[in-house]
Structure 1
């Protein structure tokens, strides 16, 4: 528990929307709004960025916000509706108009785990103020069943994002310093942002409290499209450690398929990250995974089949 003399960080919840009525997500956005309101004084505001909806969503949101603001007490809501280029552009724009010290992204059809999860996260962050931090996630499956994600560590980041984007809190000034999400990526810009922060030596903290309730699906469920974007991010971030080697797209797609990275890349990254322990741990983890899997020829991996 943070001491009473420590000013806890403020948090802005960022929710982006577009044409929710056409998508049949009216009940979902109502629930998301209430999830933010349930946090009480654990946050500073709820930012809603709408991408110029044309189906009546703007009017719906204004009505819902007016109902909330008529209550004796409520979490302040900052609402804006303007055209944007993509989901990640909308997220970036939502951050631009936010005022919290940290931001957390809450999709319009997702929820926060509990009314006190952000309060507990703030207490764990305390005076440490890491560049970003993350908690576990509750996944809701198609049959309605729920499962709590395994506890993951950042050292597995070189091959997969080890935690859910919606369960991550990022310091607003750090998000701005990195230019937010890369708009050249439409599926894995969240993963790419974490990679860029890690390679730059950002400090992170793993939280004990679960943060988000997440419904898997959407564009990221298309494994091939996801893999193609992953290779773009890998080439951008990993090229300095390829040792002058050029890898084809097919070669890099196979890295995704088998969950292994080239040994030469892992060794080069390990050698060049001696003064960056977090990156060194990630390189060592990927090296161990690759070696172990190569020594198990009787086993096969195919993440395209997942």
Structure 2
């Protein structure tokens, strides 16, 4: 049997309905060559019915795709579970699509296949979804140190990573929130691995309910973020980049406010001016 092009790994713990959404988005993918997709699901010993749901979907034969391997057992955290799935991945590339996140359409992977990806890291845009709205998040074409010092990061839900590279640098389980960012800084910024931005959304990310979205975990993320930055950048470099960002965004902010003010003044002037016409 030939090597699968992509291994998708889903990690879940007590998110039954989110898991259902994710499973169906992967299993319903259409137009793919046989055995070109490997699907691995890691459940963290859930107690909300996720296990029964997973067993049901694993036994179904009505979907175009199937679950290649799964387990349900206790783990020490999300990155431990992701590394556990990674250990079983045999595809050329790997994509982490955790419970609650889902692929953009039933034919999106066929579109991805058509891009003939050859870089170490291929990243796409992502759609953030909330209970009442969605938001398209567009990433820059170039990933720089400034991108990370500004607090941004690529989302693993929209990144195809060469499996051999991901296995060389498994997720650092000492972090609870920022290990995926640690991976990207290590590979793209430090090691200069090849990457490319594909300008269309690959997936939907559950921004309102995700692991990083509530105030407690946001605070933990901020603390870990500072540890992460100091792992790769000296204080002097961080200061230089922050000053550059302060100038760049402060300057742009002044320009935006000035444009808004001028627009308001023009509108006010137009409303106050007498109507034109023959005297």
Question: TM-score, normalized by length of structure 2?
Answer: 0.77
The residue correspondences of 1:38-187 to structure 2 (distance < 5 A) are 38-40=28-30, 41=32, 43-67=36-60, 70-71=61-62, 73-124=64-115, 126=116, 129-143=118-132, 145-153=133-141, 154-155=143-144, 156-178=147-169, 180-187=170-177
1:296, distance to aligned residue in structure 2 (A):
8.6
Q: Tell me if 1:210 matches 2:205.
A: no
* Alignment match of 2:22 (pick from 32, 39, 47): 32
CA distance 1:158–1:120, change in 2 (3 Å):
farther
Please identify runs of 4+ aligned residues in structure 1 that moved more than 6 A. 294-299
1:191, distance to aligned residue in structure 2 (A):
1.1
* Alignment match of 1:14 (pick from 9, 19, 26): 9
Structure 2 CA distance for aligned equivalents of residues 71 and 292 of structure 1: 54
Question: Contact 1:136 / 1:148 at 8 angstroms: preserved in 2?
Answer: yes
Please list the CA deviations of residues 231-269 of structure 1 after superposition, one character each: whole Å capped at 9, or x if unmatched: 11111122xx446x9xxxxxxxxxxxxxxx401xx4xxx
Instruction: State the number of aligned residues.
Output: 243
* Alignment match of 1:196 (pick from 186, 189, 197): 186
Unaligned residue ranges in structure 2 (runs of 5+): 256-279
Structure 2 CA distance for aligned equivalents of residues 219 and 73 of structure 1: 30
More displaced 10-residue stretch of structure 1: 35-44 or 205-214: 35-44
Structure 1 CA distance for aligned equivalents of residues 139 and 44 of structure 2: 34
The aligned residue for residue 263 of structure 2 is none
Unaligned residue ranges in structure 1 (runs of 5+): 1-6, 246-260, 267-285, 300-306
Question: Contact 2:28 / 2:64 at 8 angstroms: preserved in 1?
Answer: no
Structure 1 CA distance for aligned equivalents of residues 250 and 71 of structure 2: 51
1:295, distance to aligned residue in structure 2 (A):
6.6
Question: Contact 2:93 / 2:161 at 8 angstroms: preserved in 1?
Answer: yes
Structure 1 CA distance for aligned equivalents of residues 65 and 112 of structure 2: 20
Structure 2 CA distance for aligned equivalents of residues 95 and 101 of structure 1: 12
The aligned residue for residue 212 of structure 2 is 220
1:216, distance to aligned residue in structure 2 (A):
0.7
Give SS of 1:233's match.
helix
Structure 1 CA distance for aligned equivalents of residues 128 and 155 of structure 2: 10
CA distance 1:115–1:295, change in 2 (3 Å):
closer
CA distance 1:242–1:99, change in 2 (3 Å):
same
The aligned residue for residue 292 of structure 1 is 248
Question: Contact 1:121 / 1:209 at 8 angstroms: preserved in 2?
Answer: no
Q: Which has the larger radius of gyration?
A: 2
More displaced 10-residue stretch of structure 1: 207-216 or 161-170: 161-170
Structure 2 CA distance for aligned equivalents of residues 288 and 173 of structure 1: 36
1:58, distance to aligned residue in structure 2 (A):
1.8
1:182, distance to aligned residue in structure 2 (A):
0.9
* Alignment match of 1:262 (pick from 222, 232, 239): 239
1:99, distance to aligned residue in structure 2 (A):
1.5
